[in-house]
Amino acid sequence: MRLLLCLAERAGQVVSIEDLLNLVWSGVIVTPDSVYQAIASLRRLLGDDPKQPTYIATVPRLGYRMVAKVSPWTDQPPAEGPPAEGRPAEGRTAGPRRGVPISLVIAAALCLALAAGFLYHYRTVNNYQAAAAAGVPQRSVAVLPFLDLTTEAMNEEYFADGMTEELIDKLSKIPGLRVPAPTSSFYFKGKRIPLADIAKSLAVAYILDGSVRKSDATLRVAVRLTRAADGYVVWTETYDRPLGDKLEVQDDIAGEVAKALRTSII
């Protein structure tokens, strides 16, 4: 919500990643990964397409820009009274539209966000308890399609999909770990569905997702493991690799992730 408000207050302007870190994560030591992941989450929630954005546009090498029209909420005052029957109202015009202070808009938005967060957490716990009652194994994980967050042409979707397939292959070979097939995972590609609902649908206790970014000749793959029980991230890692043989890069990173998850999923 802080990120969304920050971009909305500067609608039409390019806001650099450094400025976003200072404004949204003030006093907290985080990396640019936090910005990338938060932008990706906002886009999922808004149903925004990064290649044809209607809300948040990526400005390569500079930052992000709110492209949606942003204006204060306005309200139309009620009329003073109905005109006499059969006679038009004379000398009366609708009063001017009054702007609501931006602070009230922000406060209302934050209240709605808190209420939505509470309901989401409540539903997450209930969904997990229902899934547990149905016999969902604790050693189970679904790999969701990785996001292509490359800031230039966003043309690494094939690599991101290949990364997802490679991870499913590697994780399915871990003894005792249940992993849904790629067909099941790719069904959720691009869909705005809470992780708890996805986990319940696939009958898994954990969700693995991530993103792919590129800078010059370097590929960065960020991977995150989330526990469906409470929505908390239990493990995360980033992998930087030179842009070369992409199949070798996928195999290498998938192998590293599989090693790490052997002890992270209990």
**End of a domain among 66, 92, 109?**
66
172 lies in the same domain as 255: yes
How many domains does the chain fold into? 2
* Three-class DSSP labels, the chain: CHHHHHHHHCCCCEECHHHHHHHHCCCCCCCHHHHHHHHHHHHHHHCCCCCCCCCEEEECCCEEEECCCCCCCEECCCCCCCCCCCCCCCCCCCCCCEECCHHHHHHHHHHHHHHHHHHHHHHHHHHHHHHHHCCCCCCEEEECCCEECCCCCCCCHHHHHHHHHHHHHHHCCCCCCECCCHHHHHCCCCCCCCHHHHHHHHCCCEEEEEEEEEECCEEEEEEEEEECCCCCEEEEEEEEEECCCHHHHHHHHHHHHHHHHHHHCC
Residue 94 lies in a domain: no
Residue 174 lies in a domain: yes
Q: Give the pLDDT confidence score for residue 114 in this predicted structure.
A: 58
Overall pTM surpassing 0.85 (yes/no): no
53 lies in the same domain as 146: no
**End of a domain among 21, 40, 66?**
66
The domain of 200 spans 141-264
**End of a domain among 40, 66, 92?**
66
Looking up residue 153, the CATH number of its domain turns out to be 3.40.50.10070
Residue 88 lies in a domain: no
Residue 118 lies in a domain: no
220-252 pLDDT, tens digit per residue, is 999 999 998 888 898 999 999 998 888 999 999
Looking up residue 27, the CATH number of its domain turns out to be 1.10.10.10
Residue 197 lies in a domain: yes
149 lies in the same domain as 243: yes
34-73 pLDDT, tens digit per residue, is 788 888 888 888 888 888 888 999 888 788 999 998 887 7
The edge-to-edge listing of strands for the beta sheet with 63-66 is: 14-15, 63-66, 56-59
53 lies in the same domain as 151: no
66-94 burial code (b ≥16 CB/10 A, e <16)? beeeeeeeeeeeeeeeeeeeeeeeeeeee
Q: Give the pLDDT confidence score for residue 94 in this predicted structure.
A: 44
108-144 pLDDT, tens digit per residue, is 666 666 566 555 555 544 554 554 445 677 889 999 9
Residue 71 lies in a domain: no
